Chain A
């Protein structure tokens, strides 16, 4: 990784643009504007201004300070991407959960062969969200700012991958809905026929018994 001032600025600029795109995309496809993500971009502006102050002010020689501010700005950009993705991931996980609840009474793998692997994936992503949240909480409790740290920077990339995977799963499940509805309708018809057959049979036996009793 290149750490010079222009290189870091270039990286921040690219990440900022990407974060903005992510926020916009999730705004339209999921539940609306993600305030946590927008807040992270606000922090980016703050750290960039601080960096500019350090570059132009009396502390010109404070290269470490300048570097730190840029690093913080970069980490907040990454966190903004993560937060925007998180809103989308939660939205899609809720949709998968709704699907599972809607079709509890029928066997889904006939129509969606990879259904179980989709659920495993959903569980894995759900655990990932929880782990990131826990890490964030424990670090705050220790007095560390998570965005100041480098080690978890791949969380935002992972959330990116996970969001794409969940979108695909949701698309497939959504397409399967009409077929599953047809299957449930057929099951219902079969059940109705069986129950009415049983009722008619029982009635016929009762009539036969009554006739036999009266005739004898």
Chain B
């Protein structure tokens, strides 16, 4: 493990920030602040972006 730490110090890499990270942060904020909706407080919600992505995946699928 120490070798990896050393290697990282010798050859530093920029931090990787993905869309999943953003999603996780948004999800945490919604869960924390949602009141009056069980679904939202559990983090169960669908955004336009989610729907469009899933629709595109379904369109590519041959039923």
The answer for the CA separation of A131 and B52 in the assembled complex, in Å, is 13
B24 touches A (CB below 8 Å): no
A123 touches B (CB below 8 Å): yes
Contacts of B43 in A (CB 8 A): 32
Interface residues of B in 34-63 (CB under 8 A from A): 37, 39-40, 42-48, 51-52, 54-55, 58-59, 61, 63
Q: Looking at the complex, which one of A35, A122, A126 makes contact with B46 (CB distance below 8 Å)?
A: A35
Contacts of B54 in A (CB 8 A): 90, 94
Contacts of B55 in A (CB 8 A): 90, 129-130, 133
Contacts of B51 in A (CB 8 A): 34, 36, 86-87, 90
How many A-B residue contacts, CB cutoff 8 Å?
A: 60
Whether the Cβ atoms of A35 and B63 lie closer than 8 Å is no
- Contacts known (A32-B46, A33-B39, A33-B40); A90 close to B58, Cβ less than 8 A: yes
A96 touches B (CB below 8 Å): yes
Q: Nearest chain-A residue to B54 (Cβ)?
A: A90
Contacts of A28 in B (CB 8 A): 39
A27 touches B (CB below 8 Å): yes
Q: Looking at the complex, which one of A94, A122, A133 makes contact with B52 (CB distance below 8 Å)?
A: A133
The answer for the CA separation of A138 and B63 in the assembled complex, in Å, is 26
For B11-32 the 0/1 string (1 means CB < 8 A from A) is: 0000000000000000000000
Taking the closest CB of chain A, its distance from the CB of B46, in whole angstroms, is 5
Taking the closest CB of chain A, its distance from the CB of B39, in whole angstroms, is 4
- Contacts known (A94-B54, A129-B55); A31 close to B46, Cβ less than 8 A: yes
Taking the closest CB of chain A, its distance from the CB of B63, in whole angstroms, is 4
Interface residues of A in 1-41 (CB under 8 A from B): 27-28, 30-36
Whether the Cβ atoms of A32 and B44 lie closer than 8 Å is yes
The answer for the CA separation of A96 and B58 in the assembled complex, in Å, is 11
Taking the closest CB of chain A, its distance from the CB of B36, in whole angstroms, is 11
A93 touches B (CB below 8 Å): yes
For A32-57 the 0/1 string (1 means CB < 8 A from B) is: 11111000000000000000000000
Interface residues of A (CB under 8 A from B): 27-28, 30-36, 86-87, 90, 93-94, 96-97, 100, 119-120, 122-123, 126, 129-130, 133
Known pairs A35-B46, A90-B54, A100-B63; list 19 more (Cβ under 8 Å).
Answer: A28-B39, A32-B39, A32-B42, A32-B45, A33-B37, A33-B39, A33-B40, A86-B51, A87-B51, A94-B58, A97-B63, A119-B63, A122-B63, A126-B61, A126-B63, A129-B55, A130-B59, A133-B52, A133-B55
**Pairs of residues from A and B, 7 with the lowest C-beta to C-beta distance, nearest first:** A32-B44, A123-B63, A33-B45, A32-B45, A32-B39, A122-B63, A119-B63
